[in-house]
């Protein structure tokens, strides 16, 4: 396994931003004098962190490096700030454009990553789970599978939020992310709208803990998918909104790749 950490200059954000990249290369087992060679170009998972995170947070809180190595998958982790991975037009910070298209071009030009849709996947935890479904659908020509772990599927509800000292419940914070929150519904920031307007829907994997504060939102979205006759995998299992749950079920998603 090879780990790269650095920063890239991107047009979508008009600045440099950090990324972490895990490559399933150099799988040398010194104790038994063996080496596993993963054919290039690599299948690739673009993995999105949650609120308050950065590109190194999965490295610190999960076993993603070992699991990527074991399954021969490259993993690219961008820094999404607290953006919800949507486009912030006024700030010229197009996070959706970045993770849905430009990041693929950047990393494919640097690393031996597959350019094929069937080898390219997007997933995320919490805010990153929302980012994965939003951008996996909006840029569905680029991704064949979407993984949503404890996804923050809150766009139906934030119109009812008010001012609050907790950013998770503060409408002004969400306005800074989504713009006019009265216009989210039936826009490209609304996952249900995107489902109804996506020509080639990627395969969808969902997992959420039974004691997670987002479980009802995830169940509602799964029910919506079923109402549209979309065959998605949904794991509802014991657990809360924790890194332990994320670690377990991001592995389950990677097993399907």
Question: What's the mean pLDDT in 82-91?
Answer: 93
Q: Tokens at residue 121, please?
A: 């996947």
- In this prediction, residue 162 carries a pLDDT of 79
Place of tokens 């038994």: 32
Q: Give all strands of the β-sheet with 43-48 in edge-to-edge order.
A: 2-10, 15-23, 73-78, 43-48, 120-125, 145-149, 203-209, 233-237
250's enclosing H/E stretch is helix 243-255
Domain range for 86 is 2-255
Q: What is the pLDDT of residue 161?
A: 85
For the record, the structure tokens of 24 come out as 């399933």
> How many domains does the chain contain in total?
1
Burial label, 246 (beta-carbon count in 10 A; 0-12, 13-18, 19+): buried
Q: Where are the beta strands (DSSP E) in the chain?
A: 2-10, 15-23, 27-29, 34-36, 43-48, 73-78, 87-88, 93-94, 120-125, 145-149, 203-209, 233-237
CATH number of domain containing 171: 3.40.50.1820
* Alpha-carbon dihedral sign for residues 2, 3, 6, 9: positive
**111-122 pLDDT tens trace:** 999 999 999 999
Which tens digits make up the pLDDT trace of 25-76? Answer: 876 555 565 566 788 999 999 999 999 999 999 999 999 999 999 999 999 9
* Rg of the Cα atoms in the chain: 18
Q: Cα separation of 147 and 19, whole Å?
A: 19
Q: Rounding to the nearest 10 degrees, give the CA dihedral for residues 68, 137, 188, 7.
A: 30
What confidence tens digit (pLDDT) does each residue in 203-248 have? 999 999 999 999 999 999 999 999 999 989 999 999 999 999 999 9
Q: What is the mean pLDDT of residues 2-14?
A: 96
């Amino acid at each position: 396994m090879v780990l790269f950490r650095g920063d890239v200059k991107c047009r979508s954000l008009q600045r440099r931003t950090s990324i972490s990249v895990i490559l399933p290369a150099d799988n040398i087992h010194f104790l038994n004098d063996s080496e596993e060679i993963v054919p290039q170009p690599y299948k690739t998972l673009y993995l999105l962190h949650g609120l308050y995170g950065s590109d190194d947070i999965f490295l610190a809180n999960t076993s993603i490096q070992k699991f990527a190595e074991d399954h021969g998958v490259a993993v690219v982790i961008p820094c999404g700030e607290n953006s919800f991975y949507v486009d912030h037009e006024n700030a010229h910070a197009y996070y959706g454009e970045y993770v849905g298209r430009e990041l693929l071009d950047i990393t494919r030009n640097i690393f031996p990553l597959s350019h094929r849709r069937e080898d390219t996947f997007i997933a995320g935890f919490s805010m990153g789970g929302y980012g994965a479904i939003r951008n996996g659908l909006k840029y569905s020509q680029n991704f064949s599978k979407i993984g949503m772990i404890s996804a923050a599927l809150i766009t139906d509800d934030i119109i009812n939020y008010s001012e609050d000292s907790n950013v998770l419940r503060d409408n002004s914070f969400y306005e800074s992310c989504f713009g006019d929150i009265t216009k989210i519904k039936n826009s490209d920031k609304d996952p249900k709208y995107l489902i109804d307007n996506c020509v080639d829907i990627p395969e969808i994997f969902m997992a959420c803990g039974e004691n997670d504060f987002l479980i009802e939102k995830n169940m509602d979205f799964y029910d919506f998918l079923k109402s549209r006759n979309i065959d998605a995998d949904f794991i509802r299992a014991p657990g809360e909104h924790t890194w332990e749950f994320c670690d377990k079920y991001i592995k389950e998603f990677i097993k399907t790749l």
